Amino acid sequence: MDATAETNPAGSAEAIPPSWREALAPVLATREARRLGGWLKTEEAAGKRIYPPRGHRLRAFELTPLDEVRVVILGQDPYHGAGQAHGLAFSVQDGVRMPPSLVNIYKELATDCGVSPPASGNLDHWARQGVLLLNNSLTVQEGQAGSHQNKGWDAITDAAVAAVAARPEPCVFLLWGNHAKKKAMRVPGLASSHHLVLTAPHPSPLSAHAGFFGCRHFSQANAFLEAHGRGTVDW
């Protein structure tokens, strides 16, 4: 078995997708990553419900290979309600009521690009077009937002962001809220790189009116990608 599968904290049933293995192998081999894997197993053995369920925790990497990333959108934690989280930041499964932040994302998209709000909150179609929808922590305990912060996921997802930033192809980083901005700041030289870094308040109802609405990040991202020969995203 590949070493990255053996040490993968997401669970033995999930292997790191091939395109990400070289970038993530060093951090997955650390004591902290192994400790995270053991801690998650202990939590599940104790009967705690962890979201997303096994088989979905690496979905952002599975749907968006490293060499196909064009846009990075950073979230904080998976949704902590039953049936919501499925491995993509801000996304929910088909048939699940849209969380307020996603509703506001769709509102801005409609204003910015004239896209009618979809009936589903499933963002698989973004991910398959090279939009990396990455949460800082890839798991959370049911009903407890932030419960898996500072448990070891940060180093793994930091390595993923750094791997995208190190690629020669220009990408767009959409940083919504202070948490996303702080995470991006941990990547050396990102702000002064050949990538486009756009910042705005978080799309939650508490802050969307403070500058997320009207940020026009979706059209700016497409304009940048098209100007650099990377096509556009069909939002």
Which of 2, 77, 154, 234 is catalytic? The answer is 77
Q: What's the token pair of residue 139?
A: 């798991």
Cα-Cα-Cα-Cα torsion 180, 128, 85, 212, nearest 10 degrees, comes to 40
* 77 catalytically annotated: yes
Which residue do the tokens 């890839």 mark? 138
Distance separating alpha carbons of residues 87 and 124, to the nearest angstrom: 10
CA angle 121, 232, 125 (to 5 degrees): 25
Q: Which residues pair with 200 in a beta bridge?
A: 176
Which one, of 156, 123, 126, lies nearest residue 138 by Cα? 156
Distance separating alpha carbons of residues 154 and 123, to the nearest angstrom: 23
Cα-Cα-Cα-Cα torsion 132, 75, 47, 63, nearest 10 degrees, comes to -10
For residue 144, give the DSSP letter: B
Integer angstrom CA distances of residue 103 from 67, 107, 150, 229: 30, 6, 28, 31
Answer whether 159's CB lies under 8 Å from 153's CB. Answer: no
Active-site annotation, residues:
77
